[in-house]
Amino acid sequence: MHCPGRADTWKAAVWISARFPHAGISVIPRPLFPSTRDLPPTLIRRLADGILNLVFPESCLVCAAPVSRQRDRGICRDCWQKALRLRITGALCPSCGIPYQSFEEENAHLCGKCILNLPLYSGARAFGYYSAELSRIVRAFKFDGRRDLAPLIASLLLSAFLEFWLPQDIDLIVPVPLHSKRKKERGYNQAALLGRSLARLLGKSCGERVLARVRSTLPQVGLSDADRVRNVQAAFTCTRPAQVRAHRVLLLDDVMTTGSTVASATEALLDAGAARVCVLTVARAVAGWE
């Protein structure tokens, strides 16, 4: 895996800002507050916003403070800033990306879990800790039908991506699929929405139908580590191997907990001939941060 330093990240940010001026990327990639992504508010837009808020008062999906759904996408500035502060920084395992508690630890060594059983993916990274404000935002996006949050959450993914890779390090983005039954219940696959948004920002294609979930699995929440592995074993199949053969894939999901879901999806991609699979998630569940 190519892990660029700050200079490479800066170069990538310049490249992105030149190519995609609307991506909201300045010299150092930093996710923007939702309202700054929109057009500058005109008097008419402000008035319309005010009237809509009077008729349909909206509260922040994290702290219930009054907000404007149109302007702020339902998240107050305070909660957004707090979510950004949950970013994972410092030393982490180069394979699974678990952050080390001590800042003195070096990036160069694997964590105990990866030493015992090295994952097949070439590195997993996440934007932030699955906790507090960030977990509330992700849950609203996933379970409360807030699919309009996709571009905002994708800006977090872009920022994390540019911290560790360059756009030329990957060929294809593949979102972790939902089983058709669950997709029907929810109405959308949250990882696919993020995949589309991130693919647009990076100028890559998103292989939404490259993987299929062939087994309906139990929700991973509440299962032991061993049960999680068993639950998702052989759960995925690559339905379009020609699209992944010899390609460097970025596998995308919303949350990584033990890593068994992304490990199983990675296996299916590598079996289909992918040259390499890296994993990116919005959040990472880390013990002690729930």
Q: Report the length, in residues, of the chain.
A: 290
Smallest distance, Zn ion to C-beta of residue 52, A: 19
Q: Which DSSP state fits 204?
A: -
> For residues 79 and 279, which CB has a smaller minimum distance to Zn ion in the complex?
79
Structure tokens at 206: 């998103």
**96 interacts with Zn ion by CB under 5 A:** yes
Give the x/- contact pattern for Zn ion in 215-254, rule: CB under 5 A.
Answer: ----------------------------------------
Give φ, ψ of 206 to 5 degrees: -115, 115
Q: Which DSSP state fits 280?
A: E
Secondary structure of residue 146 in the 3-state scheme:
coil
Name the one residue in this structure whose structure tokens are 């630890």: 105
Pairing of strands 66-67, 211-213: unpaired
Q: What CA–CA distance (Å, rounded) separates 100 from 91?
A: 6
Smallest distance, Zn ion to C-beta of residue 228, A: 16
> For residues 213 and 284, which CB has a smaller minimum distance to Zn ion in the complex?
284
**256 interacts with Zn ion by CB under 5 A:** no
**92 interacts with Zn ion by CB under 5 A:** no
Binds Zn ion by CB under 5 A, chosen from 93, 201, 262, 263 = 93
Rg (CA), the chain: 19
> For residues 11 and 109, which CB has a smaller minimum distance to Zn ion in the complex?
109
**260 interacts with Zn ion by CB under 5 A:** no
> For residues 132 and 212, which CB has a smaller minimum distance to Zn ion in the complex?
132
Smallest distance, Zn ion to C-beta of residue 61, A: 8
Secondary structure of residue 175 in the 3-state scheme:
strand
* 54 burial type by CB count under 10 A (0-12 exposed, 13-18 middle, 19+ buried): exposed
Smallest distance, Zn ion to C-beta of residue 16, A: 29
Q: Are 126 and 252 in contact (CB under 8 A)?
A: no
**79 interacts with Zn ion by CB under 5 A:** yes
> For residues 120 and 212, which CB has a smaller minimum distance to Zn ion in the complex?
120
Number of chain residues interacting with Zn ion (CB under 5 A): 11
Binds Zn ion by CB under 5 A, chosen from 111, 140, 166, 275 = 111
**83 interacts with Zn ion by CB under 5 A:** no
| Residues near 281 by beta carbon (within 8 Å), at least 6 away in sequence | 124, 125, 126, 127, 252, 253, 254, 255, 256, 262
Give the x/- contact pattern for Zn ion in 31-70, rule: CB under 5 A.
Answer: -----------------------------x-xx-x-----
**135 interacts with Zn ion by CB under 5 A:** no
Binds Zn ion by CB under 5 A, chosen from 88, 114, 202, 210 = 114
Pairing of strands 236-238, 172-175: unpaired
Nearest to 126 by CA among 257, 277, 5, 267: 257
Q: How many helical (H) and strand (E) elements, i.e. helices and strands, does the chain have?
A: 13, 9
> For residues 62 and 283, which CB has a smaller minimum distance to Zn ion in the complex?
62
**265 interacts with Zn ion by CB under 5 A:** no
The residues binding Zn ion (CB under 5 A) are: 60, 62-63, 65, 76, 79, 93, 95-96, 111, 114
